[in-house]
Amino acid sequence: ISRYAFTAVSCSMLNRHSAATQGVFQFHIPTAAYISNFTMIVGGRVFPSQVKAKERKMKKEGGENNGNKNKNTPEQSEGEMEVFRMEVTIPGRNRAVFLLTYEELLQRRLGRYEHVTSVRPMQLVSRLSVGVTIVEHSRITYLEVLPLRNGKTPSSNGNGKADGKVGPPVSTVVKQNETFCKISFTPNIAQQAKIATNGMLGEFVVRYDVEREIGIGDIQVLDGHFVHYFAPKDLPVVSKNVVFVIDTSASMVGTKIRQTKEALFTILRELRPNDHFNYVTFSNRIRVWQPGKLVPVTPNNIRDAKKFIYMISPTGGTDINGGIQTGSALLSDYLSSKEESHHNSVSLIIFLTDGRPTVGVVQSPSPVIIGNTKAAVQEKFCLFTIGMGDDVDYRLLERMSLENCGTMRRIPEDADASGMLKGFYDEIGTPLLSDIRVEYSEDAVEYITQNLFTNYFNGSELVVAGKLTNRSSDSLHVQVTASNSERSIVLEKDVSIHEREQETERRLAEVEAGPNTNGYVERLWGYLSVKDGLKGRLRSQTSAEWENYMQHATNLSLTYNFLTPLTQMIVEKPQVLADGTLAQTQKEADATEAPPPAETSNQLSEDNNSLTPQSLHRNQLPKPISAVSKATSGVSKPAKKSVTLSKTSADGDPHFVVEVPHSKLTMCFNINGEPGHILRLVTDHEHSGVTVNGALIGAPAPAGSHKEQRTYFSTITIVANKPRRAYIEVTPQKVILDERDRMILPSSSSISVETTNLAVVIIANTNLTVTIQGTIQFFVILFHHYKNPAPYQRDHLGFYIANSKGLSKDTHGLLGQFLYEDIGLTQLPGNFSMAAENSTQETLGKNITLTSYPALKVKDRTVTVIKKSRRIYSGKQTIDCWFAKNNAAKLIDGQYSDYVVSHLFDTGDWANGTNTH
């Protein structure tokens, strides 16, 4: 349900002999999953299990490579599955039933979730069925049942294809609607035999994905807990700096190096034009392809790189420390020398080895290598490690990547290494965001799981779960901040806790998803919290810190009955007497340990595509569950940003309003433009480099109006040419921001984006504030939307200048020319010659005739005006202003036609010179 998978396994065995015999129950479970229950029913009696904290600390050495796969303990198998194994004596003519449940959060990789069920009963069986039910909150957009997939099962002739056809395994039935699907796989004995005669059919794999809203992501609430899935799309790709550090020791000879080269050739073709790269190979000597630099992606560099890869020849020992030090120094020096131009890129090392260190620093697992790696990386980039085959110190690779914001991946001995390497690179090859921080209302959440992520890669997903406080309000404020290419992004939204909970409960009620699923959000929170504690323990710097993480993760494991590296399962086993009957009492208990054994690598490696950097995580020590860990907000909400708004604006039909600061008066005028005309509103091209243009659209005038048509601003562009060219194009539906990368933001979401030059804050469907160069904070654009527009109404924009600080005295344009103008108000006598222009004496109020006329003094011009009222800020404020008639004749410099420009990005200067004083 919503990516959190509960799997229940039931296996029934019959002992047909008269004598007691050993029955073996064995099941592959995904590495990232936790067993939450195991029960046996033997000879009609129930033998439950119990999860307890481990009383002794396991050795840190060994891990899955110690070769001791004891009976009654889960075995470590290669790849991403563990083997849970239980042997039990079954009395003659009796039956044993094994019941196993485990839980896991499905990880999104390459744009898909993958649910894997092992189908390996170890013999052909009369009744075999697999049922997968998927209940999603959002619409399921993609669903595929893959052919059966075989891991390392050399004795099996199953090739993942039934009858040679690629497609779902034979007997698979799929039923689905928008948010729900039910899949069943029920092969009879004949169908099983065609796949594999030994019952090792392989893995039943379902892949799917769901629809995503643009913006903050999907939040689900249930039983006082919430989960937040965040996987934005359609973002510009961030360029990357990547160093490949490749093991070329003698053990890589043959298939391993051939498959590694194949993968490197493929990856080379997929590097993007803005990426920079280099290669380091290590055995007992270190070779750097292009010493002292990272090279851009050009045809010549690609050609030379292919030659270098082709010429790699395995020989000698394995100097892991030397390889990682050389690669780190190379990348670190490059970043230091190019700091200004590459602060927005994502930097990473991809490190591949098939063995343990045999040259240089050789202890395993080595605190020296881990310490050296951390010192070399210095949190400047992320380290992703790949282990090939059986002879790898996975614990070392795990620690190296975990402490340096990367992940580790294992490639089994007989696997398709080329395909797996390529797949792993695809997961991290398209960075979209970095330094992601997800925060929630301080007073609404009590404890949240990891909420700081170093990178977000295309096709993945960030998941945060939290506990809500009892006294929390009905609203949860969610804010995501991140860096994207050259900018900071802020997404925020207030979600109704009550509404989300009702929706989640309704979804659960619609399907029979099983008894456990009612508390799925809380269990998901517990699952992620345990993972966080285990990662924190591996990264801890002091014994107190280590103990804190240990205690936290252990307490949660016990609360949710999870079998983890910190807990053990006590399984009561049946005792069979000499006569083959079950003993009446049970005194003995055998401890079963968690998959994988304590401190091994792969338990943690698959948890996240990106992990928290150490410096950030140190302040995030887990508290006891009862304690409050508030999510603090580092950035203020866009809704609360204070902008001092003046009345200087162009809005509506369009009506222009100008607040004259020196004279403390407000004047206004109309411009009756033509649809399609583009008007110059502000230009300071020569000095601050800023230009604002607005495009007009037309609409018929309302009935009874003296006008023939109305015009509105449909698009406004702000061009900033200094220090380098950037622009913002605004329509009522979207905001396009282009500095180096182009970004399209919907006007319907509250978003804040900051680039080198520009800062943009959108309040959903309300307004947009633009700050240029950090000092010119002056544009506010209102979005005017109509639900049921009359013929004369069109969605349009209003443009306001909040603060003209930063614009020069020479600023011009329909609004810009007045920003620093000293305009005075005077009275003209009734016989003044200008009265003729207004044809009659102006009348104010009820038949009061004035014998003098108010007029504005602008430069050397005098313009008669009348008093009017204007509504601004979407009608929320009414102001009085001095209105100049006749399309602002004499009020503005030159004529209306002087302000019509050729296109929206025209930055030409004012035709009649500067706005002189």
Q: What is the mean pLDDT of the chain?
A: 80
The mean pLDDT value for 762-780 works out to: 79
Q: What is the pLDDT of residue 359?
A: 85
Task: Give the three-state DSSP class for 537.
Answer: helix
pLDDT band at 505, cuts 50/70/90? confident
Domain ranges of the chain: 4-55+77-152+167-210+567-571, 220-234+434-559, 240-429, 649-829+850-901
Looking at residue 61, its pLDDT comes to 32
pLDDT classification of 339: cutoffs 50, 70, 90? low
Mean pLDDT, rounded, for 338-350: 75
Residue-wise pLDDT tens digits, 562-579: 999 999 999 888 888 877
- pTM equals 0.62
Q: What is the CA radius of gyration of the chain?
A: 35
> What is the C-alpha separation between 738 and 726, in angstroms, rounded?
6
pLDDT range class, residue 628, cuts 50, 70, 90: very low
Q: Choose which CATH entry (1.10.600, 1.10.357, 3.30.70, 2.60.40) describes domain 4-55+77-152+167-210+567-571.
A: 2.60.40
Distance CA 165, CA 316 (A): 44
Helices 255-270 and 417-428: crossing angle in degrees, nearest 10, is: 30
Max CA pair span of the chain: 131
Residue 507 has pLDDT above 70, yes or no: yes
**Torsion sign across C-alpha atoms 502, 508, 509, 511:** positive
- Cβ atoms within 10 A of the Cβ of 291, count? 10
Q: Report d(CA 905, CA 729) in Å as an integer.
A: 9
For residue range 486-499, list pLDDT tens digits in order. 678 888 899 888 88
Band of the pLDDT at 640, cuts 50, 70, 90? very low
The correct CATH number of 240-429 out of 1.20.1340.10, 3.90.180.10, 3.40.50.10260, 3.40.50.410 is 3.40.50.410
| The pLDDT value given to residue 365 | 56
What pLDDT, on a 0 to 100 scale, did the predictor assign at position 131?
95
Residue found under tokens 């860990």: 629
The whole-number pLDDT of residue 588 equals: 41
pLDDT exceeds 70 at position 34: yes
- The CA distance from 672 to 655, in Å, is 9
Query: What pLDDT does residue 515 have?
Result: 58
Compute the distance between CA of residue 38 and CA of residue 595 in angstroms, rounded to an integer: 13
Average pLDDT of span 44-55: 88
Decide if pLDDT at 595 tops 70: no
Q: 837: pLDDT confidence band, cut at 50, 70 and 90?
A: very low
Query: In terms of pLDDT, which residue wins out, 746 or 98?
Result: 98
How much of the chain, in percent, has pLDDT values that exceed 90?
Answer: 34
Residue 911: predicted pLDDT: 58
Angle between helices 299-311 and 255-270 (to 10 degrees): 180
According to the model, what pLDDT value does residue 9 have? 95
Contacts (Cβ under 8 Å, ≥6 apart) of 463: 3, 105, 227, 228, 229, 230, 449, 528
- The tokens for 872 are 């601004």
Pairing of strands 861-864, 852-858: antiparallel
Instruction: Write down the pLDDT at residue 910.
Output: 65
Q: What tens digit of pLDDT does each residue of 133-153 get?
A: 999 888 999 999 999 988 543
Helix (H, G, I), strand (E, B) or coil at 912: coil
Closest residue by Cα to residue 409 from 612, 152, 601, 150: 601
Sheet with 567-572, edge to edge strand ranges: 49-53, 567-572, 589-593
pLDDT for the residue numbered 596: 39
Q: Could you tell me which residue, 261 or 607, shows the higher pLDDT?
A: 261
Find residue 745's DSSP bridge partners: 735
Banded model confidence at residue 285, pLDDT cuts 50, 70, 90: very high
Closest by alpha carbon to 382, among 411, 345, 336?
345
Question: What own/partner pairs with CB < 8 Å and gap ≥ 24 does 509-518 have?
Answer: 510/180, 511/133, 511/135, 511/180, 513/1, 513/133, 513/135, 514/6, 514/8, 514/133, 516/6, 516/101, 517/1, 517/6, 517/135, 518/222, 518/223
CA 449 to chain centre: 15
The whole-number average pLDDT for the span 721-736 is 87
Burial of 435 per CB tally in 10 Å (0-12, 13-18, 19+) = middle
**Reported confidence tier of residue 23, pLDDT bands at 50, 70, 90:** very high
Q: Is the pLDDT of residue 415 over 60?
A: yes
428-437: average pLDDT: 88
Nearest to 425 by CA among 307, 533, 272, 551: 272
What is the predicted pLDDT for the residue at 151?
Answer: 52
For residue range 223-255, what is the model confidence (pLDDT) as tens digits? 889 999 999 888 888 889 999 999 999 989 988
**In the structure, what pLDDT confidence band is assigned to residue 827 with cuts at 50, 70 and 90?**
confident
Tell me the pLDDT band of 609, cut-offs 50, 70 and 90.
very low
Q: Do domains 4-55+77-152+167-210+567-571 and 240-429 have the same CATH topology?
A: no
* pLDDT over 80 (residue 668): yes
Task: Tell me the per-residue pLDDT of 3-20, one tens digit each, with 9 for 90 and over.
Answer: 999 999 999 999 998 889
Rounded mean pLDDT, 757-779: 80
Say if residues 354 and 326 touch (Cβ distance below 8 Å).
Answer: no
Q: What is the mean pLDDT of residues 687-698?
A: 90
DSSP letter for each residue of 171-198: TEEEEE-SSEEEEEE---HHHHHHH-TT
Local structure of residue 346 (DSSP, 8 states): E
More confident residue, 471 or 667: 667
Tell me which residue of 285, 318, 308 sits closest to 389, measured CA to CA: 318
* Helices of type H across 591-741: 602-605, 614-617
For residues 446 and 467, is the Cβ–Cβ distance under 8 A? yes
For residue 74, the model assigns a pLDDT of: 32
pLDDT value for 472 = 61
Q: Calculate mean pLDDT across residues 597-608.
A: 31
- Percentage of the chain modeled with pLDDT above 70: 82
Answer whether 397's CB lies under 8 Å from 601's CB: yes
Q: Look at residue 633 and tell me whether its pLDDT is greater than 60.
A: no
* Higher local confidence (pLDDT), 327 or 895: 327
- Report the pLDDT value the prediction gives residue 717, as an integer from 0 to 100: 93
- Measured between alpha carbons, how far is residue 725 from residues 7, 690, 737, 756, 812 in Å? 56, 10, 12, 11, 20
Query: Which pLDDT score, from 0 to 100, does residue 361 have?
Result: 85
Angle at 608 between CA 605 and CA 611, to 5 degrees: 95
The answer to whether 163 and 170 have CB atoms below 8 angstroms apart is: yes
pLDDT at 625: 30
The band of 163, judged by pLDDT with boundaries at 50, 70 and 90, is very low
Highest-confidence segment of 595-604, 648-657, 697-706, 825-834:
648-657
Q: Is the pLDDT of residue 213 over 80?
A: no
Question: What is the residue type of 189?
Answer: I
Residue 273 tokens, joined: 């034009």
Mean of pLDDT values over 437-454:
89
Residue appearing with tokens 């020196």: 662
Q: Taking Cα atoms as reference points, which of 640, 709, 630 lies closest to residue 670?
A: 709
User: Range with the lowest mean pLDDT among 148-152, 309-313, 514-518, 846-850?
Assistant: 846-850
Strand partners for 680: 693
φ and ψ of 462, to 5 deg: -105, 135
282 pLDDT more than 80:
yes
Residue that is written with structure tokens 């082709």 in the block: 310
